[in-house]
Amino acid sequence: MDMSQISPADQAKVQLMQEMEIEMMSDLYNRMTNVCHKKCIPPRYSESELGKGEMVCIDRCVAKYLDIHEKIGKKLTAMSMQDEELMKKMSS
């Protein structure tokens, strides 16, 4: 999309949405990192490298976290679309 073809107000909305998305993804990454670290890595490190069990645990934890994030995103999108449809019907 060529940004020069949209109004300044719409450009500001797009920029705000992009900034919010970056902030949300950063928050997701930070929360996921903290949760999976606490769950999979003991507080006292015995080795400088991750062990096989720790790597498997982190891999599964991250996969589950991202899977749930995707499912929640889809559900919220569907609910938002239903709300929009309901608002259209009510205003008709």
Q: Report domain extents, the chain.
A: 3-91
pLDDT at residue number 4: 65
**Distance of alpha carbon 90 from alpha carbon 86, whole angstroms:** 6
Measured CA to CA in angstroms, residue 53 lies from 13, 41, 59 at distances of 45, 9, 10
Q: Residue 90: exposed, middle, or buried by beta-carbon count in 10 A (0-12, 13-18, 19+)?
A: exposed
Each residue's pLDDT expressed in tens, for the chain with a length of 92 residues:
565 677 888 888 888 989 998 998 999 999 999 999 999 999 888 888 999 999 999 999 999 999 999 999 899 899 988 888 888 888 87
How many residues make up the chain in this entry?
92
pLDDT at residue number 91: 80
**Distance of alpha carbon 80 from alpha carbon 91, whole angstroms:** 17
Was domain 3-91 assigned CATH 1.10.287.810? Answer: yes
Asked whether the whole model's pTM tops 0.85, one would answer: no
pLDDT at residue number 54: 95
Tokens 């797009």 identify what position?
14
